């Protein structure tokens, strides 16, 4: 969940105008069609043009109604090229980052995926459009409740959700073919590495709140050997939980 300054009133007005333009160009007749047009525009201009090409990921980004995961519906603001505040110091990540991180997992149908930091529940819904085995954990109780209610309301009932400390993963459901962490860790959490299946992939932002963070791709080889690769610089809220210093 990347931190940026929230859009100004001028930008919000521009997004609303863009909605009307897209609706007129596409000849849409109702709100559902308008949001579908916004998603199509989001995918083409923010995601495909930046190099994301996995068909399953692109389909998921076109299908999941992002505005349903933003407080008060979000409207056109939900489809802008930026994160959006969801309260409690958290955000729903920029659409491109959601798509990019999901593509890096290289998911196959039926893959077992663990998400650390449910937040708005949007990322979990995107994952659920690709595989039927999704687990998500949220440490903030209000957001954990929001995740449960939102996923149930939108029909993503196959997603297993839990209120708890994601640093320690979900050991009884391990191993996972993929793990995605949506908050910045100061280091690679050992419990998550342990719960990653052989041949699995984990993507996690690593770095502190006030210095450079990078997305890191972690892979586990046939003998449990861990390899890491730094991808792109990012700015996420910090991962909470984990061991406390005495």
Active site (catalytic) residues: 93
Nearest alpha carbon to residue 117 among 210, 199, 184? 184
Residue pair 227/218 in contact by the 8 Å Cβ criterion: yes
The per-residue b/e assignment along 59-69, b for 16 or more CB within 10 angstroms, e otherwise, is: ebbeebbbbbb
Cα separation of 103 and 58, whole Å? 9
Q: How far apart are CA 53 and CA 245, in angstroms?
A: 43
């Amino acid at each position: 969940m990347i931190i940026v300054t929230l859009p100004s009133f001028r930008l919000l007005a521009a997004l609303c105008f863009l909605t009307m333009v897209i609706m007129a160009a596409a000849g849409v007749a109702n709100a559902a069609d308008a949001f579908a047009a916004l998603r199509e525009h989001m995918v083409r201009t923010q995601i495909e043009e930046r190099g994301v090409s996995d068909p399953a990921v692109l389909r998921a980004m076109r299908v999941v109604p992002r505005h349903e995961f933003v407080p008060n519906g979000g409207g056109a603001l939900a489809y802008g090229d930026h994160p959006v505040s969801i309260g409690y110091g958290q955000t729903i990540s920029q659409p491109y980052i959601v798509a990019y991180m999901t593509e890096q997992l290289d998911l196959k149908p039926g893959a077992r995926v663990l998400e650390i930091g449910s937040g708005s529940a949007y990322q979990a819904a995107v994952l659920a459009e690709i595989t039927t085995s999704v687990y998500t954990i949220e440490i903030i109780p209000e957001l954990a409740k929001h995740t449960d209610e939102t996923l149930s309301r939108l029909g993503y009932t196959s997603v297993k959700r839990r209120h708890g400390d994601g640093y320690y993963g979900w050991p009884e459901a391990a191993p996972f073919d993929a793990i995605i962490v949506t908050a910045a860790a100061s280091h690679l959490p050992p419990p998550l590495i342990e719960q990653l299946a052989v041949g699995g992939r984990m993507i996690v932002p690593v770095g502190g709140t006030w210095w450079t963070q990078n997305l890191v791709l972690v892979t586990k080889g046939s003998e449990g050997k861990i390899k890491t690769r730094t991808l792109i610089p990012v700015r996420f809220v910090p991962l909470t939980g984990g061991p406390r210093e005495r």
